[in-house]
Amino acid sequence: MLAKPSSRPSLRRCAVTGALGLTLLLAGLPAATAGDSGPDLSRFYDQRVKWSACEDMEAPKDLQCGKVTVPLDYDRPEGRTLGLALARYRATGDKRGSVLLNFGGPGGSGVDELVGGGKDFMRLTNGYDVVAFDPRGVGRSSPVTCGPATVDIIEATDGDEKLTDPRDVLRRLRDAAAECAKHSGPVLPRIGTVEAARDMDVMRQALGDDRLNYLGFSYGTRLGAVYAARFPDKVGRVVLDGVDTLTEPLTEQGLAGARGQQTALENFLGWCVEDIACPFGQDARQARRLVEQVVASLDADPVPTGFGEPFSGQDMVGAMGQALYSEELWPSLERALAQLMESGDTSGLEAFVSGGVTFPVRAQARAGIGEKAGGGLTDPEDIPMDNLPAALMAINCADDPDRPSAAQVAESLGRLRARYEEASPVFGRYRLTQVLMCHGRPKGTDYIREDVKDLDTAKMLLVGTRGDPATPYRWTEETADRIGPSAVVLDNKGEGHTGYASSECVHRKVDDFLLYGSLPPDGSSCGSETPQGRGR
C-alpha cells in the first residue's frame, strides 16, 4: 500500500498507508528456521520474553514491555543481532496464548500504537495476551534514518514543476539513497517484510505459542500473508483487515490510492453539502470544482503558517487524504476546511498531517543509531524524528522488485501523469511523485509477488471495506484468490480504511474468530453503519 511521506513527520494512529521507500538487498526464499536444514537458529528459538514495567514512556500501568533478540542476517546467525521491542496487555480470562498485532504503515511503532489505542483490543484479553511490536528498523528496534536526506527526498518530488526535469529528480534521489545507507548502517540492507515475517516466527516461539495468532491491518496484511507463505504449518487464527495487494507494481498501487481517495473525497462532499455550514455550499458537483480551485490557488500562492512554513495546495491534499481514512473524522475535516476558507487558518488541516504535533526532521541522528545492532533496544529519546518516513520508504522498496531505468521513467512519465490525473483531479498529482522514490535503489525481493500464493494453511479471515480509500476492495478479492481455499472473505459495506475500528459488526466477527474460532461464511457481509452524529 502506497502513501507519500509528509514533510511534517507524525505519530499517526493505526493503519495508515504504506508508501514508497528506500532499499534492501533481498531475493528469493529466506533461510531455514530452527526445524529446517540450514544455519542453526536454536539460540533464538530457545529464548523466552522477560516482561517488566514499561519504562521511559507514558504507558498504562497494566502494559508490560519486553524484547526478543533476532539475527541481523538469518544466513549468518552467529553474527550481529537485533533487539525487537514488544509490549503486551496480559490475558484476564482463560489464556489460550498470545495474539500478535501489526497496525500497518509500514514504519509505525506497534508499541506506541498499543500504548495509545490498546482499549480497542481489550475484549481479546479474555483469551489472549495482546502483543504489539516494533519491527526491525522501526521505533526502538534499531531505527533507520536518512538524516537530512529525508527532507531532500520530499523536496525533490514535491510539486509538478519538479517533474519537468525528471532526470534531475532521479539524480537527487540516488544521492539521498546513499545518505540513507550511511545514516542507517547495517540494518537497512536487512529490512523488509520477508525479514519481519521471520522475526515474527521467533516472537511466536518466544511467547510460548505453537501457532501464530495474528491481527494485521493494511500493510500488516501483507506481513501476515508473507508469514503464512513462509510458515504454513505455524498459522493459527489469522485476520487480515484492509487487505494489501501482493502483486501490483508501485505505479498501479499509486493509481489505486488516487482513485480510492477521490471516491472518499466525493463521498465526504456528498455528506458535507447536506449541512448548511458546509464551506463548499450545498451542491456536490460545485463543491468538487471548488475543492480543485482551492488546491490550485494554494499551489500558486501558498499561505504562511504559524510555524513559518508555506502551506500549499499539495499540503491541503495530503491533509485531506489523512482525514479521509476514517468517516469519524469527517466533521473535523469539515471544520478545518471551513477555517481555511473563512479566514485562511491552516491549523486545522495541519493537525491531520502531523497528528496535532509539528516538528522538524532532526538534522542528524545521535551517534550510534545506525550501529544499534547488538541486541539492545534504542532509547526513546534517541529515535530519529524521521524514522517513520524513512522506515516506510525502506520497507516498501525492499518489497518491490521493479527498478525502471532513468530513461524508462522519463519516457513514461507523460503517460503516467495523464492516467493519474484521470484517476483523481485532486490526488493524482500528489500520488504521482510517489512512484519515483525507489529509483536508484537495489531491487527488492520478488518473493512476495512470486511465491505468496496457493497457501496450504488453516483458514484465515480477510476483511475488505467497500469504501476503503487506501486498500480497495478488489485487493481483498485478488489476495483471497491468490491465497486459495484457506481465505475466508468478510465484505464490510462501509467507509474508511479497515473495518475493525469503525464497524461493530466487523469488530464482533473478528473477535469471535480469534477468541472462539467462529468463522463467518465466506462472502458474508457487514452492513454500512451510520457514524455517530455529525459532531458539530
Task: State the amino acid at position 117 in one-letter form.
Answer: G
Distance CA 258, CA 132 (A): 30
For the chain, give every domain's residue range.
41-143+189-248+447-526, 250-354
Distance CA 54, CA 58 (A): 8
pLDDT at 219: 96
Would you give the distance in Å from CA 400 to the centre of its chain?
Answer: 15
The gap between the terminal CA atoms of the chain, to the nearest Å, is: 33
| C-alpha cell, 38 | 540450514
Neighbours of 306 (CB within 10 A): 11
Distance CA 249, CA 231 (A): 25
Distance CA 445, CA 194 (A): 8
**Phi-psi label, residue 440: left if phi above 0, alpha if psi -120 to 50, beta otherwise:** left
pLDDT at 366: 37
pLDDT at 414: 86
pLDDT at 13: 34
Cell 504507558 identifies what position? 59
Are 254 and 431 in contact, with CB atoms under 8 Å apart?
Answer: yes
Cell 494512529 identifies what position? 13
Q: Does domain 41-143+189-248+447-526 have CATH number 3.30.300.30?
A: no
pLDDT at 37: 61
| C-alpha cell, 64 | 508490560
Distance CA 135, CA 111 (A): 10
**Mean pLDDT, 10 residues at a time, the chain of 536 residues:** 47 33 29 59 96 87 95 96 97 93 93 91 96 97 92 73 75 90 93 97 98 97 98 98 95 92 95 96 96 94 83 91 90 96 93 49 36 73 91 93 89 89 92 81 93 97 94 96 98 93 95 97 87 42
Are 226 and 446 in contact, with CB atoms under 8 Å apart?
Answer: no
pTM of the model: 0.88
Distance CA 4, CA 430 (A): 8
| C-alpha cell, 267 | 463521498
User: Which backbone phi and psi does 527 adopt, to 5 degrees?
Assistant: -75, 160
pLDDT at 481: 98
pLDDT at 536: 36
